[in-house]
Amino acid sequence: MGKPTGFMEFDRKLPTDRKPEERIKDWSEFHTHFDENELKEQGARCMNCGIPFCHTGKPVEGGCPLGNYIPEWNDLVYRGKYDEAYRRLIKTSNFPEFTGRVCPALCEGSCTLGMNEPAVTVKNIEVHIIDKMFEEGKVIPRIPKKSTQKRVAVVGSGPSGLACADILNQKGHTVTVFERADRAGGLLMYGIPNMKLDKKIVQRRIDILQKEGINFEFNTEVGKNYSVSKLINDFDAVVLCCGATKPRDLKVEGRDCVKGVYFAVDFLKANTKSLLDSDFQDRQYISPEGKDVIIIGGGDTGTDCVGTAIRHSCKSVTQIEIMPEAPDDRLKNNPWPQWPKIKKTDYGQEESIEVFGKDPREYLNTVTKVVADDGGNIKEVHTVQVEWINDGGKMIPKNVEGTEKVRPCQLLLLAMGFTGPEDTLIKQLSLETDERSNVKAEYGEFETNVKGIFTAGDMRRGQSLVVWAIHEGREAANACDRYLSR
């Protein structure tokens, strides 16, 4: 360990984000870095525990699904050995510049120090290592030394697809990634706003993957403008990493009769594409300017919608959340090393407090009706408070009489998660699915019921985190490689 008494000498600190009043004026990343002396102190806090739960990667116990060698590179950062820290980091992590920015840091939730002190700043140290290496020109293409002459198709270029393609390419296979959008990255490119993950960061990694020999086919949707039969005939194996992109809809009175209701994923994608294509000059985005914006959903995507709406000068913004407000501290039924289910005020909420003087989240509320004006455009949303009751062992929400409310709204965004993968390709390939409509494939094997066709990420496990998608992409690549090596 770096310093035996480091965790007693130094408090947990994070770099100060750019101030809300400053950052809402642009689309640049709002996180900053420590200088190296401050980062060294944070690395010194790592205790190099006898059992480091930070990289266990278990669904219940928490920890990093990638199995990152966290205590090792924390120690190396403390010692100023960044090159070695980088080499340890990339042994398990394909894209630390992504996870270091958008991962909720499962590792920190299960940090042993977190039993009675604030956890080690693992995520911040991780992103500093990789950004420093990029700045110094030490992240260079790794050209595979051999070729197996085997051809593999990876469908989807989100985090699982990119990780899968990276591993397969390094093993010597010829990899082609099919992406239906005009840019690679999946949700990394179009599902996460630029201020949280700058698209130059994503494109920088895509450029490296291309230089390493991976072929990307953009604007190509397998099953529509690229036939399934051609896919099967032209490749020795296929890995499907298409995500869980079927958004959960709002089923209330008026939903199908009004204009101005959008899925959050469509709102965010159009915004980022317009930003990248023309700096918004093409006006090809869903504008919140001057509108009362209501967002249904209190997760990360809802927060991203809040931040995006504020940057477009919305009139007001409200997040409707059906769940109760989380506690400030862990409850007894949520002990370490489980992920702490506590209240978090994210960047979007901070910006709403700055601009409108209040947190946009309203808990224990649900929408019951949407109403249009004479032109068919949404003008108001009806809501009611709910209480959660035990119905035969199952908790269900019940409307509270007398709490009905009519809210002005000219833009309603649905950020209620996803129900599973789109089924066009699944049906064409005759793939078996589970009870949640995900493609059926055993963890560890990742092969579907069709020989030579594998799947990974949200398409297999359901909507999850970027870090889990990368983990699955890596593991599916290894399974595919075993298949090709028979």
Residues 6+ apart with CB under 8 A from 293: 305, 309, 314, 315, 316, 317, 318, 409, 410, 411, 412, 413
Residue listed under structure tokens 């989100």? 158
Question: What pLDDT, on a 0 to 100 scale, did the predictor assign at position 435?
Answer: 96
Q: How far is CA 292 from the centre of its chain?
A: 27
Region 63-68 average pLDDT: 94
In this predicted structure, which of 5-9, 162-166, 358-362, 435-439 has the lowest mean pLDDT? 5-9
Dump pLDDT digits (tens) for 232-273.
999 999 999 999 999 999 999 999 999 999 999 999 999 999
Report the percent of the chain where pLDDT is more than 90: 93
Question: What pLDDT, on a 0 to 100 scale, did the predictor assign at position 307?
Answer: 98
- For the cut 80, the answer to whether the pLDDT of residue 150 exceeds it is yes
Q: What's at 75, amino acid-wise?
A: D
Average model confidence (pLDDT) across the chain? 96
Q: What are phi and psi of 23, to 5 degrees?
A: -75, -25
Question: What pLDDT, on a 0 to 100 scale, did the predictor assign at position 86?
Answer: 98
Name the token pair of 48.
């190099």
User: Which domains are present in the chain?
Assistant: 6-135 (1.10.1060.10), 151-245+419-484 (3.50.50.60), 249-416 (3.50.50.60)
- 458 and 474 Cβ atoms separated by less than 8 Å: no
Q: How far from each other are the two terminal CA atoms of the chain, in whole angstroms?
A: 42
Residue listed under structure tokens 């809402």? 24
- For the cut 70, the answer to whether the pLDDT of residue 486 exceeds it is yes
DSSP 433: B
**Any idea what the Cα angle at residue 475 is, between residues 75 and 239, rounded to 5°?**
140
Dump pLDDT digits (tens) for 383-392.
999 999 999 9
Region 430-446 average pLDDT: 97
Question: What pLDDT, on a 0 to 100 scale, did the predictor assign at position 55?
Answer: 84
Confidence of residue 51 (pLDDT cuts 50, 70, 90): confident
Question: What pLDDT, on a 0 to 100 scale, did the predictor assign at position 47?
Answer: 84
Dump pLDDT digits (tens) for 86-112.
999 999 999 999 999 999 999 999 999
Provide the CB-side half-sphere exposure for 223 (13 A, CA): 15
Question: What pLDDT, on a 0 to 100 scale, did the predictor assign at position 168?
Answer: 98
Question: What pLDDT, on a 0 to 100 scale, did the predictor assign at position 56?
Answer: 83
> CA-CA distance, 154 to 332, in Å (whole number)?
44
> What is the DSSP secondary-structure string of 361-387?
EE-SEEEEEEEE-TTSBEEEEEEEEEE
> CA-CA distance, 105 to 50, in Å (whole number)?
21
Work out the burial of residue 160: count CB atoms within 10 Å of its CB; fewer than 13 is exposed, 13-18 middle, 19 or more buried: buried
Residues 6+ apart with CB under 8 A from 10: 41, 42, 44, 45
- Does the pTM surpass 0.85? The reply is yes
Name the token pair of 404.
């009905």
Confidence of residue 58 (pLDDT cuts 50, 70, 90): confident
Dump pLDDT digits (tens) for 202-239.
999 999 999 999 999 999 999 999 999 999 999 999 99
- 447 and 479 Cβ atoms separated by less than 8 Å: yes
Question: What pLDDT, on a 0 to 100 scale, did the predictor assign at position 60?
Answer: 65
Question: What pLDDT, on a 0 to 100 scale, did the predictor assign at position 110?
Answer: 92
> CA-CA distance, 24 to 18, in Å (whole number)?
10
